[in-house]
């Protein structure tokens, strides 16, 4: 894995954003894998502010998001569809029919998981996947556990993850208990991966990703198996990684 230290949060967004712009310049119908959470917001801000200056269009770009809460549709302000509309889709010229987020209000979640996998295949696979990482090392909503789950699936969110996400809700009890998420194999099929990590709270997990053996108890460690991963992190996130890159 290639590791780049960002000077600050803004710099992290710029470095990742430039990688995405280069991908779009090379292929105007690129398929972007997108993540939600606090860390990617700076990336989307950079893209939204810069695309007109670059004379780049998102009109042929396709996107697929990592996950969505079960029970939420795009009108819910806590849904990831709403998040993406707010932070990126409504600010660029992307075609909404080219943007895929799992349907959290679907009637059959198992069929939705299969549909999502098929949709990614129809797009031709993901060219560049943005990932954040939780304090417990989860990517997407692939939580620590006994095994890696390969394909898009339903996950029971851990109490730790629900507590961390509670800051976005009225109360911890309001955080959904389940989500639909891309699986590990789906993520690893992406041709390139950006792992964006910010803050000292994630330092221990990031050190494990860079130095420890691959284990489903630290889901992001599986990125060691991918041939083209760029880690972009600030000094806090890299504070326990001395000598590892």
Q: Which residues are catalytic?
A: 67, 136, 138, 143
Q: Which residues of 229-238 are buried (b: 16+ CB within 10 A; e: fewer)?
A: bbbbbbeebb
d(CA 199, CA 5): 12
Q: What are phi and psi of 218, to 5 degrees?
A: -135, 80
The four Cα atoms 146, 148, 152, 153 give a dihedral, to 10 degrees, of -10
DSSP state of 240: T
d(CA 204, CA 209): 9
Q: Please choose, from the candidates 81, 129, 86, 121, the residue with its C-alpha nearest in 3D space to the C-alpha of residue 104.
A: 81
Q: How far is CA 150 from the centre of its chain?
A: 16
Q: Which residue has the tokens 């997407």?
A: 140
Residue 180 is encoded by which pair of tokens?
């639909």
């Amino acid at each position: 894995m290639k590791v780049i230290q960002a000077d600050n949060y803004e710099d992290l967004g710029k470095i990742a954003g430039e990688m995405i712009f280069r991908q779009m310049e090379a292929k105007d119908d690129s398929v972007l894998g997108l993540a939600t959470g606090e860390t990617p917001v700076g990336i989307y801000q950079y893209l939204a502010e810069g695309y007109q200056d670059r004379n780049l269009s998102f009109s042929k770009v396709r996107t697929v998001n990592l996950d969505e809460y079960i029970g939420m549709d795009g009108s819910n302000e806590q849904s990831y569809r709403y998040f993406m509309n707010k932070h990126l889709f409504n600010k660029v010229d992307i075609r909404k029919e080219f943007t895929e987020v799992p349907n959290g209000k679907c009637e059959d979640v198992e069929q939705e998981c299969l549909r999502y996998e098929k949709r990614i295949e129809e797009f031709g696979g993901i060219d560049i996947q943005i990932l954040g990482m939780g304090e417990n090392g989860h990517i997407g909503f692939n939580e620590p556990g006994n095994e890696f789950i390969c394909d898009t699936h339903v996950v029971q969110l851990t109490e730790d993850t629900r507590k961390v996400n509670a800051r976005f809700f009225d109360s911890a009890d309001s955080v959904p208990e389940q989500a639909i998420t891309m699986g590990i194999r789906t993520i690893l099929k992406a041709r390139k991966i950006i792992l964006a990590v910010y803050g000292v709270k994630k330092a221990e997990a990031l050190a494990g990703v860079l130095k420890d053996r691959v284990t489903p108890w630290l889901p992001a460690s599986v990125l060691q198996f991918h041939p083209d991963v760029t880690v972009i992190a600030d000094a806090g996130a890299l504070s326990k990684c001395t000598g590892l890159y």
